[in-house]
Amino acid sequence: LWAAEIVMEEREKNDNIHLVCVSPFNGFEMRWSEQDKTTYHSIMEQADLVKYISQHYYKACFQVRNEWMVNHVSRVIAAYNGTKGG
């Protein structure tokens, strides 16, 4: 969520920056805290493009989401904190 917030700030300064949000499935955020869900929905409403890989969870939806992002964007902001998981 923090990366999307940074992109939205930078987008105000540069018309060539676009926020593309790709969710592995509709409802991906349902197990999150209420605060995170509110932030997520606000970000999705402000995105230039929202893409849902699937309407429902399936085993490969995260992999398909990752492949879609790599194949359809010119830049990606990525962070790794050294731990397993998303």
pTM above 0.85, yes or no: no
- Total of domains in the chain: 1
Q: Is residue 77 part of a domain?
A: no
pLDDT digits (tens, 9 = 90+) for 14-37: 999 999 999 999 999 999 999 999
Q: Classify strands 20-23 and 49-52 as parallel, antiparallel or unpaired.
A: parallel
Q: Which domain holds residue 24?
A: 2-72
Q: Is residue 6 part of a domain?
A: yes
Q: How many Cα neighbours within 13 Å face the side chain of 22?
A: 17
Q: Is residue 82 part of a domain?
A: no
Q: Is residue 10 part of a domain?
A: yes
Tell me the CATH number at 27.
Answer: 3.40.50.450
Radius of gyration of the chain (CA): 13
pLDDT class for 67, splitting at 50, 70, 90? Answer: very high
Q: Is residue 78 part of a domain?
A: no
